[in-house]
Amino acid sequence: MEYVIYGLGAVVFFALVMASIALHEVGHLVPGKIFDVRTTQYFVGFGKTVWSRMIGETEFGFKAIPLGGYVRFVGMYPPAKDSPELIRSARTGVFQSLADSARAAEWETIRPEDDGRLFYQKKTWQKLIIMAGGPTMNILLAFAILLGVTATYGVYRTQLTVNRVQECVVAAGEPVNDCAGKPKTPAYLSGIQAHDTIVAFNGAPVTDWDQMSQLIRGNLDRTAQVTVLRDGQTVQLTPVDTVITGVPDRWDPGQRVAAGFFGVEPVVERERGGPVVVLDDMWTMTQQTGHALLAFPAKVYYTAANLVTGQPRDIYGPMSIVGASRAAGEVASTNRIDAGDKVATGFMLLGSVNLFVALFNFIPLLPLDGGHILGALYEGLKKLLARLRGRPDPGYVDTARMLPVAYAVGGVILVAGVVLILADLIDPIKLF
């Protein structure tokens, strides 16, 4: 039965992710239709067509490989400014040949009646709305999902109230109850007690555990004066020196950094919250995702190296949609949390996936949406500067020239996807 629940949880989560991808493409499709761009295809998946249906001028359907989706707008690349003769005689570079080939393939499908309905002919602000519509849809989905969980069920958050005081300083992996011959923690020496509520650190008021944690980490081995609320009374604890120890990096938990250590375990409680709380959570997640994206190529490389050499996988490393689905299946089948926590955790994971998809697509490189957004912004800036200087309209930006970059980025994404899927199948990250 456990395996059935595991499989069902994984399949349901995968289907929800694909539904999110489908809605991402709707975020492109709807403004494209509103601004009258000729739209020939809307597909979920890649590869061979499994099912499709023509609705108006657009073919809607599903492809055999459910790992993405796309909307095809006609006229993504403007015509070449040079004459065909100049193209044949002068444009012999490999990169230029790629651009000209893609442009030629694009223009084979363009009809005379499409004039005015081509994507490149649209106003800059319209292009921005169309291309930003997809990732914006994922941001809205992430917000709605996270708000649904936070407002109804609640999210577990660390409190400033002390649950347990660690008696001695132990190395990572050592049992915390074996204190023979080990130094006492600064918290133990300060006299802090379970059920105390921390209200200040070195005279600075603290309002949440994250703030307190950052103050402790940044204190290194300097003196710490902690103030607590105990039985309704404010108590100044004995000043102590925090100690330096290795802790997971805030933005890259797979790395350990030197930081101050105090030695208390805070109370964790489930709290409900509204839109402001969710937006604050999403901002923190955005910062974490930004750091993760910067380290993504290196993380994928080390994942591949560990897979080949048989080294343990970094539990904080990236995973594919397959890995995320397996994690959802693991959450669904575990007996360590109750049903409410399982549902909440699954939807929190889905919300975080949507936020990641949005931020990933905003990367300003083709073939990602951010690359098209950057092209539209550059075109708009050129036109604006030309107007301000009283010069002629410089025309459309030839995004076809960036196709070599698109092919390179697409190749990296493909390789990374294959590596992570293999790793998630062979050596998956386990939550429990």
**For the residues of 96-118, what is the DSSP string, one character each?**
HHHHHHHHHHHHTS--GGGTT-S
Q: Is 220 left (phi over 0), alpha (psi -120 to 50) or beta?
A: left
Residue in 309, 295, 36, 274 with CA at minimum distance from that of residue 143 = 274
Residue in 315, 333, 295 with CA at minimum distance from that of residue 424 = 315
| In 175-305, beta strands by DSSP E | 197-201, 204-205, 223-224, 226-230, 233-236, 240-241, 243-248, 256-261, 264-271
The distance in angstroms from the start CA to the end CA of the chain is: 18
Helix 403-426, helix 296-309: angle, nearest 10: 40
17/327 Cα distance (integer angstroms): 13
CA dihedral 271, 282, 358, 313 (to 10 degrees): -80
Residue with tokens 């020196």: 241
CA dihedral 135, 139, 144, 150 (to 10 degrees): 150
3-state percent helix, strand, coil for the chain, nearest multiple of 5: 50, 20, 30
The residues annotated as belonging to the active site are 25
74/57 Cα distance (integer angstroms): 11
Q: How crowded is residue 380: how many other Cβ atoms within 10 Å of its Cβ?
A: 16
